[in-house]
A and B are shown apart, each in its own frame.
Chain A
Amino acid sequence: MKLVELKKGIYWVGAVDWNIRDFHGYSTWEGTTYNSYLMVGDKITLFDGVKNEYTDTLIARISEIIDPSKIDYLVVNHVEPDHSGAIPQLVEIIKPEKIFCSDMGQKALAGHYHYSEWPYQVVKSGEEVMLGNRKVIFQEARMLHWPDSMLAYLPDEKLLISNDAFGEHLATVERFDDEVDNSRLMGQAAKYYANILWPYSPLVQKIIKTVVDLKWDFDMIAPDHGVIWRKNPGQIISAYAKWSDCQAGNRVLVVYESMWKSTEKMAAQITHGLADAGLDVRQYRLELNHRSDIIADFLEARGLVLGSPTLNNQFMPQMADFLSYLRGLKPGKKIGAAFGSYGWSGEAVRQMNECLENMNFQLADQGLRHQWVPTREVLRSCYELGGRVAQEVKNYRFE
């Protein structure tokens, strides 16, 4: 395989995982990559590892450039096993002089692999380190997206090794942003942000500000998943600035589950009502869509209309799954409403309203529930509910 040299003497030596489809509850329909970067100089450094089962692939790639045992330093920017799984075996082969990580990184490495004797070299945020003749500045990025997360900036190479930030789950033979279709790339980047980084949006804002204040000058971002941004690294930074600021358009999702199609009929009319009011509306039946795909689409939406029948005094289990996942992502500045058909007790709409309020959604309506199969009049009310939600979305003013 051709060597991928992103900057002079800095090589991509990661692995492409074409087959992964479930990443702890996040659907990776297009696979992913685990990126690892080898920097050759007076000293040889490896930035980040790969998932355990790709250790041999990593070692083979390094071997095309140098003898892996010649590596002097390991940098562990993030301890999650998809990046650090290879570390124990690498340590055995390389016997590194130093393993650079954050304070939290050392704790997490020890907690994962239980080697207290490894040559940890804990770096502080902003610390400048010479790796042989090449300078690196480490910057902690706590909770982006683990407490140990770190960025490594190489000022002389104008390169930012950004760990999980600015990455996406996308398996390709291409390694650079300009080699893949941009809408496909940005779609996966948005999905990654929504499912991994969304809850930490205030920290994303902070780190962007820090990087600006520090006047870091880079023309390339090399994340640990997906492609390397060399043509337009500004594009992904602007996108992160927008997403972390809760900016959204006139998009509303109608997300529902149904038992005997009554709630589904209601959903269809609400969707019509929203569409006729000129909104960008998308309808998702929970059973047929993966939670992480709906979440990806919700990132830039302003409104969410939830529908569920009542099953044994509760909303449907698919709705419980979705709402539990959504709550963890802490979406900000959203508008919500709920609807559903029911047989006798009919608690689901009230319960969904409560969930929306607990997530600080602004309720656009008290919601709409109907016993048994909706009549023409009820469907008309659903259409009108769509219109009311649309009005709230249009009137929403960004604070």
Chain B
Amino acid sequence: MKKYVCNLCGYVYDPADGDKESGIAPGTPFEDIPAGWTCPLCGASKDDFSAE
């Protein structure tokens, strides 16, 4: 599964880790994250991420 990088702040979404604070379980591919999810570091929207 591909990692995705926040174009604004550089945060890396790693599917292996998920995003616990937002309730995204480990093993969730980036594509399956709900559209309203935002970067946990800077609040950027999902559109602001690029595949690493």
Contacts and interface: CB of A to CB of B under 8 A. Distances in A.
Q: Do A and B bind each other?
A: yes
A199 B42 CA distance: 13
Contact of B43 (A147, A200, A202): A147
Main SS class of interface, A: helix
Contacts of B44: 142-143
Contact of B9 (A140, A143, A202): A143
Contacts of A104: 43
B51 interface: no
Interface in B21-52: 41-44, 48
A200 B8 CA distance: 7
At the interface, is chain B mostly helix, strand, loop or mixed? loop
Interface residues of B, number: 8
Interface residues of A, number: 9
A200 B7 CA distance: 9
Contacts of A147: 9, 41-43
A49 B46 CA distance: 33
Contacts of B9: 143, 147
Contacts of A143: 8-9, 42-44
Nearest to A330: B7
B25 to A, nearest CB: 23
A142 B39 CA distance: 11
Nearest to A199: B8
Contacts of A140: 43
A181 B50 CA distance: 43
A202 B41 CA distance: 17
Contacts of B42: 142-143, 147
Contacts of A246: none
A203 interface: yes
Interface of B: 7-9, 41-44, 48
12 contacts: A140-B43, A142-B44, A143-B8, A143-B9, A143-B42, A143-B43, A143-B44, A147-B41, A199-B8, A202-B7, A202-B8, A203-B8
Given A140-B43, A142-B44, 13 more contacts: A104-B43, A142-B43, A143-B8, A143-B9, A143-B43, A143-B44, A147-B9, A147-B41, A147-B43, A199-B8, A200-B8, A202-B7, A202-B8
Closest 3 CB pairs of A and B: A142-B43, A147-B42, A143-B42
